[in-house]
Amino acid sequence: MDFEDLDTATTLEENYQQDKQVWEKILDVEYELDQHHTHGVGEAFIHQMIECIEFVLGCVSNTASYLRLWALSLAHSQLALVFLYYILPQPWAMCGYEHCSIAEISAGSFFSWFVFMSATFSILMCMDVLECCLHTLRLHWVEFQSKFYKGAGYLYTPFSFDAIFKKSVKL
């Protein structure tokens, strides 16, 4: 083994130790670890019980949120059936089966189809938009905020040419 190999090995070991220290500091800051405090078993048990309760409440909340979306889907399909059963058969119910000709029933069916389609499309599309909005809000506020969002960032400033111009004039 050459002396150069020994120097390279020690340099690699030193770099590894420096990197390890840097990553430990990053993890300490990220997870707010305090190396100087020692916690007892009782404190750890209480902390874990609180975490367990939060987890169970989060599961119940997510389930209730998904049940809300499921209820909207059921309402959507049932409302479509109501429109189908009450709008499309109207030409047959108004004329009666014996008193109207096929042409009158066909014309009535043709026009009632437009009423059916417009009512179904407008109301059910509004429900679909509502469902999408609720699902998006649920994803943002229930899942995103409760899992890993900390809100420790910097203040948002929108892009502005005036601000850039004023900054460049001050320089």
Contacts (Cβ under 8 Å, ≥6 apart) of 88: 109, 112, 113, 116
Q: Tell me the residue type at 82.
A: V
**80-138 tens-digit pLDDT:** 888 888 877 777 777 766 677 778 778 888 888 888 888 888 888 888 888 888 888 87
Q: How far apart are CA 137 and CA 131, in angstroms?
A: 10
Put simply, whether the predicted model's pTM sits higher than 0.75 gets the answer no
Angle at which helices 102-137 and 41-87 pack, to 10 degrees?
170
**Band (53; pLDDT cuts 50, 70, 90):** very high
**Band (3; pLDDT cuts 50, 70, 90):** very low
